[in-house]
Amino acid sequence: MKIGIIGGGMSGLIAARDLQSAGHTVEIIEKSRSVGGRLATRRMNDGQADHGAVYFTVRSDELKQEVKEWQAAGVVKEWFADPYPRYVGSNGMNKIGKYLAEGLDVRLNEKIETIAAKEGGIMLTGSEQLHYDAVIITAPIPQAAALLEGSPLNLTQEDQKLKEYIFEPAFVGLIELNENIQVGEYGLLDQDLPEGILKIVNNGEKGISNNPILSIYMTGEWSEKWFDREEAAMEEVVRLSVEQLGDLSIASKQLKRWRYAQAKQVFNAPYYQLEQHPVWLCGDAFLDPDDPSGHTRVESAYISGKKVAEQIIRFAQS
Ligand SMILES: Cc1cc2nc3c(=O)[nH]c(=O)nc-3n(C[C@H](O)[C@H](O)[C@H](O)COP(=O)(O)OP(=O)(O)OC[C@H]3O[C@@H](n4cnc5c(N)ncnc54)[C@H](O)[C@@H]3O)c2cc1C
């Protein structure tokens, strides 16, 4: 089969690799200029900072096995264990996406605007029309639901329930410092912080940056409150950071705003297929009902990508 995957984040990349290994022809269509999605790293002068996932943890045997390979390839490393290991991209989280995309067919800077049924298959329209036998949408559920709503597909009542899933936003302030400062034991503070701050990371101490750049992760509630006031939000992030860390000698600063950072409510299955079309949805918010953590994270995206690929392989054989 020829399969189109909308989105080159963790779930899309994993599904693509498994489907391609099973002999299918796979194309990833990604709207950004790089793969990785919320595995995101930004360059700032001589250094860089992660501004999506901070680290990932591993509970499942499948991911445990895979992480060993990624470690052997030098793509990930253990940051610290407390008591469970926290893994990070050795050279930034985004490099994990780049590594997983090796050998895959990826179209970058291509945003899919509509999905239509055409001659027994599916047609995606962005800057051109692309034809597939089956399609996987990996965008966060609210974005996937909006894409479906705006498309000429027959959506059943069950399909339309996807609109009910809500994600919360996140602001991440990036502050490049002129002088290094110690942030917690390992370059991470995630407790007893001023209201609004979820985590503070020093990317230098995390081992991914030549210069000290702080990533200040704000809570969902705070980010919702400040969502439309970006300039003021940056100032407030700095004020709260100084309240926690003392005076900072700031070289430069930037703000990253995620409209869809994590699901407020998860979907209780690892993927969903539209009732009348060969179109599947997967991603971090699609969790096994017995998922031990119950929240969206890198590992849930990984498992969802694996499971949707298994299902499509079975579908192709039937
Ligand atoms: C600020 C922040 C902090 C986080 N911290 C952690 C953490 O510490 N630990 C952890 O485990 N997880 C963390 N996460 C969550 C983790 O990053 C995600 O669970 C995981 O990366 C999601 O992968 P995904 O494939 O489901 O989705 P995504 O990575 O969002 O991938 C979806 C992709 O689809 C693309 N796309 C969307 N619409 C279209 C379209 N119409 N056309 C083409 N492409 C499209 C997007 O550009 C994106 O690349 C964090 C997330 C954020 C935002």
Residues 143 and 231 in one domain: no
Q: Please give the distance, rounded to the nearest whole angstrom, from the Cα atom of residue 9 to the centre of ligand 1.
A: 6
pLDDT at 190 over 90: yes
pLDDT digits (tens, 9 = 90+) for 116-148: 999 889 999 999 999 999 999 999 999 999 999
Residues 111 and 259 in one domain: no
Residues 118 and 31 in one domain: yes
Q: Please give the distance, rounded to the nearest whole angstrom, from the Cα atom of residue 317 to the centre of ligand 1.
A: 30
d(CA 35, CA 29): 10
What is the residue range of 112's domain?
A: 2-40+94-165+266-317
Task: State which of 223, 244, 263 marks the end of a domain.
Answer: 263
- Residue bearing the CA closest to ligand 1, atom 27: 9
**What's the domain count of the chain?**
2
Residues 233 and 283 in one domain: no
CA within 13 Å, CB half, 297: 17
Instruction: Give the pLDDT of residue 102.
Output: 98
Q: Atom of ligand 1 at shortest distance to CA of 55? A: 8
d(CA 118, CA 129): 11
Q: Please give the distance, rounded to the nearest whole angstrom, from the Cα atom of residue 297 to the centre of ligand 1.
A: 9
Q: Compute the mean pLDDT over every residue in the chain, rounded to the nearest whole number.
A: 97
Task: State which of 245, 263, 281 marks the end of a domain.
Answer: 263
pLDDT digits (tens, 9 = 90+) for 263-282: 999 999 999 999 999 999 99
Could you tell me which of 103, 176, 122, 139 has the C-alpha nearest to residue 8? Answer: 139
Residues 182-210, mean pLDDT to the nearest whole number: 97
Instruction: Give the pLDDT of residue 292.
Output: 86
Q: Atom of ligand 1 at shortest distance to CA of 57? A: 11
Given a contact cutoff of 8 angstroms between Cβ atoms, the answer to whether 26 and 138 are in contact is no
pLDDT digits (tens, 9 = 90+) for 12-41: 999 999 999 999 999 999 999 999 999 999
Ligand 1 site, residue 52, Cβ cutoff 6 A? yes
pLDDT digits (tens, 9 = 90+) for 104-116: 999 999 999 999 9
Domain assignment present for 74: no
